[in-house]
Structure 1
């Protein structure tokens, strides 16, 4: 295990304690803001419709445009929240986690909207959260039976299960903390030059968002029109 990984592990508990309660409630709040919009950031459906209008109604081009836009946004927030280097990483990381979750939820929800899913449906919101984990983690959690089904199956389930929604939020919150702090920070904390940390953060978050977008594109197939 490298120095960066050791530092990341030692910082992980501190970051968790300093974060604004990265719990199921916070995860759901990030999802709600991603769908409804917050501040100058329009909601997922509005962003999707804007992208669709720019490409004359071509759904696949709109999906591609959404991914590209959110990769840039994620890279920008990753740069800013990693500028301080090791000295302020424990403070900046919670903002990075929350911002990245919101942007990636917005991207997934936007793709879901373009594919004909109702973002007000709690089943679809569950699917967005599970997609947020990424393909590799979804497969791992399915194998361990932590989650009952892949995203599309959840989005099209016969009925909503409130208990499942709570369990999913808890699982997603734990996975996000472990992934972002345990893996991402382990790879960036060891870089002691602040600006280098910002560049690495931008690249890491941008690439992560690209992978999430590609997974959502593949997983959330178009709903049949009636």
Structure 2
């Protein structure tokens, strides 16, 4: 499994473009994150190689998916600690870095699960669905009920055609959700993140828990489509 340092190297390539883009460029920022998460970079393996490694070791798709979730929860926890360690002095840098770090870890986990379930993770419809999964089940449910999103990730992944307008809307929604979650939307969380050392612990818990919840949602949402080979 890659280390938090490996995630940090991937984050270094992405943090500046993410922190300097506006809402209209959310799709560009997320495409960069998704590309690194799926294709890998340096010592940060691709989603496919990660999926294959777990499947070959365990022999069962279901067991491999559980193992992928567990390993990414640990990785998400580690990067959450490292990128929030500096407290208030590092806050202008650490919060954007944490947004990217959490997203890279979670997108790779989602993509590895999708690959094991038989989805073509290069398909733009599937990539839109995978990005949607970053919101988590409760958030998606609220947005679908409120008309902000039209349907579920599963329906998007299996739609007849790719919808560019939906992809853009999903990107903007997900970026807003990531900023709110990682940046500390609620005051106690925001204050705790700004205390040296304590911020690292809070970041670790938040990112580890959100990674677990997203993994469990993705496992239930992206049902198996076809058998794959190792």
TM-score of the pair, normalised by structure 1:
0.86
2:38 corresponds in structure 1 to: 35
Task: Measure, in 1, the Cα distance between the counterparts of 2:101 and 2:151.
Answer: 27
Q: Is the CA contact 2:78–2:204 (under 8 Å) kept in the aligned structure 1? A: yes
1:103 corresponds in structure 2 to: 105
Matches within 5 A, 1:51-200: 51-55=54-58, 57-183=59-185, 186-190=188-192, 193-200=195-202
Q: Is the CA contact 2:183–2:190 (under 8 Å) kept in the aligned structure 1? A: no
Q: Is the CA contact 1:85–1:189 (under 8 Å) kept in the aligned structure 2? A: no
Task: Measure, in 2, the Cα distance between the counterparts of 1:176 and 1:193.
Answer: 21
For 1:92-116, what per-residue CA distance to the aligned partner results, in whole angstroms no more than 9, with x for missing partners? 1100000101110100010000000
Moved over 4 A (4+): none
Task: Measure, in 1, the Cα distance between the counterparts of 2:222 and 2:20.
Answer: 31
Matches within 5 A, 1:10-29: 19-21=19-21, 23-29=26-32
Deviation at 1:19, TM superposition (A): 1.9
Q: Is the CA contact 2:193–2:200 (under 8 Å) kept in the aligned structure 1? A: no
Task: Measure, in 1, the Cα distance between the counterparts of 2:44 and 2:226.
Answer: 30
Structure with bigger RCO (C-alpha 8 Å, 6+ apart): 1
Measured at CA, do residues 185 and 105 of structure 1 come closer, stay the same or move farther in structure 2, by a change above 3 Å? farther
2:192 is paired with a residue of what secondary structure? Answer: coil
Aligned residues: 210
Which consecutive unaligned segments of at least 5 residues does structure 1 have?
1-16
Which consecutive unaligned segments of at least 5 residues does structure 2 have?
1-16
RMSD: 2.2
Deviation at 1:24, TM superposition (A): 2.1
For 1:139-172, what per-residue CA distance to the aligned partner results, in whole angstroms no more than 9, with x for missing partners? 1110121111101111111111122212221221
